[in-house]
């Protein structure tokens, strides 16, 4: 209903050109027809295959397939109406077509004709930018998803009468949550995928649908759905971070006991490479029991002007629709460095888009940004208010190292009771969690090569062979730790 209200308002406001970027052409045309009918306006659609045809009769007008004659036809019409150009974007590079559109738009005060540019991608030419307004279809909300689910269930039962759909209420509730963040056609397909399989909706359907959703979201290479969200039990140390997150779980999830508290916005994880920043980001989502979306800034960048910002807006819109969720931005400094002036201002425009969204969003999207070089980031991104806190993930202490060794032994079906964890923890002073894990892995290879079981001696030998990053890049690591000492909160 909000889409109908907003689009009808644009038509009533007499914007001469409306740009709609969408993959849901049929839904957009139907929406346009409903809005125009309430204003008693005729609606026509154009495509290069059929030319102009009224939505009501679908009878094509002769000799209007070519873009120039099609636009001249609209220019010669002397009555109000809505004219939707479908997939017209390839023709917007022709000066003749741009000029014809401009003449139609500037004559709008005399004849209320609304031109709609509808395609999966529409870059409005600069000549028309001041005459155009952009409109985006929203993704189905909770009530919309419920309605789609009900419609598909009724359709299935009508086709399979007298059979009735069997299912578990808990599975249905989980399915409705899982469908958030998808466009209407994708929601319908996944509901059908669930119920057409065997006529039963239960928990066994959820993993299959989760995989399908992952594939759908992966169509946008800049945003991916992370399936492997570790629990904090798999993250050694980080006691301060765990305590901080535990206190903010209820307000973020809007639980009744915590209402009235501000919704937490996000955190920055700064630290030594290999010390568990990425694992901690995954663990936030796993601990809170919400979806984890990963934003790949490197995949956002495009050689086409404006395309990068558009892809970022689409990704943030998808994250909003998944609310509540965690949005993980890994190694954020690689794409938002304040010292990079070689991209013609693209990084600044991307930063502006991100900052605007961070300031204006009302959805429960918790940002976890990780960085290895916070000094290169612009100050307006890391200040209080944008993010709640900056945590420093340091090299693990002795107790944390002991826990890391235990975790990786158990993960590889080794009995920790056979190992002297205290001695091994002392031997790994200055080692990161990733380096400790690699020592266990290499020791297992050695044990396999000799046909023996893994032992303290083999692990200790691999530890001795390893030159940790704190030694190889000792000066840089020491500088980072000194800088963070008085500027950040220790995660452990």
Give the Cα separation of 440 and 462 in Å (integer).
8
Q: Give me the half-sphere count of Cα atoms (radius 13 Å) on the Cβ side of residue 153.
A: 13
Name the token pair of 69.
Answer: 């004659």
**Consecutive H or E run containing 94:** none
Whole-prediction pTM value?
0.71
d(CA 319, CA 326): 8
Residues in the chain: 492
Long-range CB contacts (within 8 A, 24+) of 64-73: 67/91, 67/94, 67/97, 68/96, 68/97, 68/100, 70/46, 71/97, 71/100, 71/101, 71/104, 72/100
Task: Report the DSSP beta bridge partners of residue 79.
Answer: none
Instruction: Place domain 232-393 in its CATH homologous superfamily.
Output: P-loop containing nucleotide triphosphate hydrolases (3.40.50.300)
Distance of alpha carbon 429 from the chain centroid: 38
Question: pLDDT tens digits, the chain, 492 residues: what are they?
Answer: 688 889 999 999 889 999 998 888 999 999 999 999 999 999 999 999 999 999 888 787 878 899 999 999 999 988 899 999 999 999 999 999 999 999 999 886 677 889 999 998 888 999 999 999 999 888 888 888 899 988 988 888 888 878 788 877 888 888 888 888 788 888 998 888 888 877 888 878 877 887 787 777 766 557 777 766 666 667 777 888 888 998 988 888 887 666 778 889 999 998 888 788 888 888 888 888 888 888 877 667 665 556 777 778 878 887 887 778 899 988 887 767 655 555 566 777 888 888 888 888 888 899 998 887 777 788 888 777 788 999 988 888 899 899 899 999 998 999 999 999 999 999 999 898 889 999 999 999 999 998 899 998 999 999 999 888 888 888 888 888 888 888 888 888
Fold of 398-472: Helicase, Ruva Protein; domain 3 (1.10.8)
First to last CA, the chain: 48
Cβ neighbours around 360 below 10 Å, total:
7
The domain made up of 2-135 is a member of CATH 3.40.50.300: yes
Using the 8-state DSSP alphabet, how is residue 337 labeled? -
Comparing C-alpha atoms, which of 391, 402, 394, 404 is closest to residue 240? 391
């Amino acid at each position: 209903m909000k889409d109908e209200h907003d689009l009808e308002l644009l038509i009533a406001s007499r914007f001469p050109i409306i740009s709609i970027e969408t993959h849901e052409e049929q839904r957009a045309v139907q929406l346009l027809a409903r809005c125009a009918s309430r204003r008693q306006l005729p609606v026509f659609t154009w495509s290069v295959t059929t030319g102009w045809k009224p939505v009501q009769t679908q009878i094509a007008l002769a000799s209007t397939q070519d873009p120039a004659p099609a636009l001249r036809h609209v220019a010669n019409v002397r009555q109000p109406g809505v004219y939707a150009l479908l997939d017209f974007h390839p023709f917007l590079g022709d000066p003749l077509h741009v000029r014809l559109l401009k003449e139609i738009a500037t004559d709008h005060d005399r004849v209320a004709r609304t031109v709609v540019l509808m395609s999966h991608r529409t870059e409005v030419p600069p000549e028309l930018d001041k005459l155009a307004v952009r409109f985006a279809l929203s993704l189905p909300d909770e009530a919309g998803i419920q309605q789609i689910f009900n419609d598909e269930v009724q359709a299935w039962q009508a086709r399979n009468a007298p059979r009735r759909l069997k299912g578990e209420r808990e599975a249905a509730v989980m399915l409705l949550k899982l469908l958030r963040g998808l466009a209407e056609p994708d929601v319908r397909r996944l509901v059908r995928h669930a119920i057409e399989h065997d006529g039963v909706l239960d928990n066994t359907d959820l993993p299959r649908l989760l995989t399908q959703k992952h594939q759908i979201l992966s169509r946008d290479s800049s945003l991916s759905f992370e399936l492997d969200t570790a629990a904090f039990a798999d993250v050694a140390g980080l006691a301060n971070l765990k305590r901080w997150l535990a206190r903010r779980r209820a307000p973020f999830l809007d639980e009744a006991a915590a209402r009235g508290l501000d919704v937490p916005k996000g955190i920055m994880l700064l630290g030594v490479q290999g010390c568990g920043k990425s694992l901690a980001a995954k663990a936030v989502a796993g601990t809170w029991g919400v979806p984890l979306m990963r934003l790949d800034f490197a995949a956002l960048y495009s050689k086409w002007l404006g395309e990068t910002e558009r892809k970022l807006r689409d990704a943030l819109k998808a994250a909003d629709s998944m609310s509540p969720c965690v949005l993980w931005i890994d190694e954020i400094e690689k794409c938002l460095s304040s010292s990079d002036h070689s991209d013609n201002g693209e990084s600044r425009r991307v930063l502006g888009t991100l900052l605007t969204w961070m300031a204006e969003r009302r959805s429960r999207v918790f940002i976890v940004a990780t960085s290895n070089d916070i000094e290169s980031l612009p100050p307006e991104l890391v200040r209080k208010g944008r993010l709640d806190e900056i945590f420093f993930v340091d090299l693990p202490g002795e107790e944390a190292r002991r826990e890391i060794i235990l975790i990786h032994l158990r993960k590889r079906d080794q009995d920790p009771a056979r190992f002297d964890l205290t001695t091994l923890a002392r031997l790994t002073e200055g080692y990161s969690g990733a380096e400790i894990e690699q020592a266990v892995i290499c020791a297992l290879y050695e044990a396999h090569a000799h046909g023996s079981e893994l032992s303290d001696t083999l692990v200790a030998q691999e530890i001795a062979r390893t030159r940790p990053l704190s030694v190889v890049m000792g000066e840089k690591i020491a500088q980072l730790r000194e800088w963070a000492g008085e500027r950040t909160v220790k995660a452990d």
